[in-house]
Amino acid sequence: MSAPIIEPIIDLQNVGVAFNAQLRVGSPRFWALEDVSLSLQRGDRLGVVGRNGSGKSTLLRTLAGIILPDRGRLTRASVSCQLLSLAVGFMPHLSGRDNAILSGLMLGLRRREIEQRLPAILDFSELGDFFEQPISSYSTGMQMRLGFSVAIQVEPDVLLIDEILSVGDAEFQQKSSDALRARIDNGQTVVFVSHGDAQVQQICNRAVWIEHGRSMMQGPVDSVLTAYHAAAPVAAGAVGV
């Protein structure tokens, strides 16, 4: 069941992204992404592998349209791309319910859509009566559970996931990754950043390997992972950031 070859929905050619290193006049810029090329088709489950500081998170935010490239070319079909972000816009003094609505609006849902999904959010988050309490009274785990329950309600064309989420206790972790898996198995287009080979192998149909802000290789998961591990991680410590 391979995806038919169609026009890419996002296409990056030799994309570079530079950041300001410091808030100073004339501070030098550094290139978080040097030269990345990749293309994403509808229905793709693309895994991004690379060492710390290789630019994976920057790549995701570039795909999300939050960061614009400073060089190279990025073309995007009219699709919505969204980072799976937890607890976006949460305010401590508001109730779980109000925060769910606020966060949902921030993530692009309409008010009516969120109201409809509130029972599902309450149910999934397992917050019970706490749902009406200010989230400042929540434990970190409870806040994350609420955050995930809201975030999973958003249905972008392309879902961007940065690292696997360790949300709440073991039981909720299982539940949240099951929910994500269900979404992915339903044909959701995903770009997935991970350190763990197992997750990439389980979830992804393709992978791209990023090193020092450059895309080294793109293709089937196994061959990319093999090449990635074959390359000695000598410079990894030197990159930092």
Partner 1 sequence: MRLHLIELTLFSTYAELRAERARSYLGLLWWVIEPAMNMGVYYLVFAVIFKAPEPNFLAFLLIGLTLWQWFKSCISHGSYSIWQQMPLIRQVKLPLQVFPNVQILADTVKFLCILALLLVVLWCSGYPPNITYFALLPVLLVELIFVAAASYIVAAIVPLVPDLRFIIEQVLQVLMFLSGIVFSLDGLPPGLRAWFELNPIVELVDAGRGILMRAQWPNWASLGRVALISLALYALGSFLITRLTPRYVKLPS
Binding site for partner 1 (CB under 8 A): 17-23, 61, 64-68, 82-83, 85, 88-89, 91-94, 98, 101-102, 105-111, 134
Closer residue to partner 1 (CB): 81 or 203: 81
Closer residue to partner 1 (CB): 5 or 23: 23
Q: What angle do CA 214, 217, 218 make, to 5 degrees?
A: 115
Residue 28, exposed/middle/buried by CB under 10 A (0-12, 13-18, 19+)? exposed
Q: β-strand 10-20 against 71-76: which pairing, if any?
A: antiparallel
Minimum distance between the CB of residue 3 and partner 1, rounded to whole angstroms? 26
Structural tokens at position 180: 């994500």
**Measured between alpha carbons, how far is residue 90 from residues 50, 108, 117, 141 in Å?**
31, 15, 18, 14
For the chain, helix (H) and strand (E) counts, in that order, are 8, 9
Q: Which residues make Cβ contacts (< 8 Å) with residue 118, sequence separation at least 6?
A: 97, 100, 101
Minimum distance between the CB of residue 112 and partner 1, rounded to whole angstroms? 9
Closer residue to partner 1 (CB): 132 or 222: 132
Minimum distance between the CB of residue 70 and partner 1, rounded to whole angstroms? 9
Minimum distance between the CB of residue 78 and partner 1, rounded to whole angstroms? 12
Closer residue to partner 1 (CB): 101 or 159: 101
Would you say 99 and 132 are in contact if contact means Cβ atoms under 8 Å apart?
A: no
Closer residue to partner 1 (CB): 110 or 195: 110
Closer residue to partner 1 (CB): 82 or 189: 82
Closest CA to 58 of 185, 160, 150: 160
Closer residue to partner 1 (CB): 41 or 103: 103
- The dihedrals phi and psi of 217, each to the nearest 5 degrees, come to -160, 145
Measured distance CA(17)–CA(34) in Å, rounded: 7
Minimum distance between the CB of residue 66 and partner 1, rounded to whole angstroms? 5
Minimum distance between the CB of residue 64 and partner 1, rounded to whole angstroms? 6
Return the CA Rg of the chain: 19
Minimum distance between the CB of residue 126 and partner 1, rounded to whole angstroms? 24
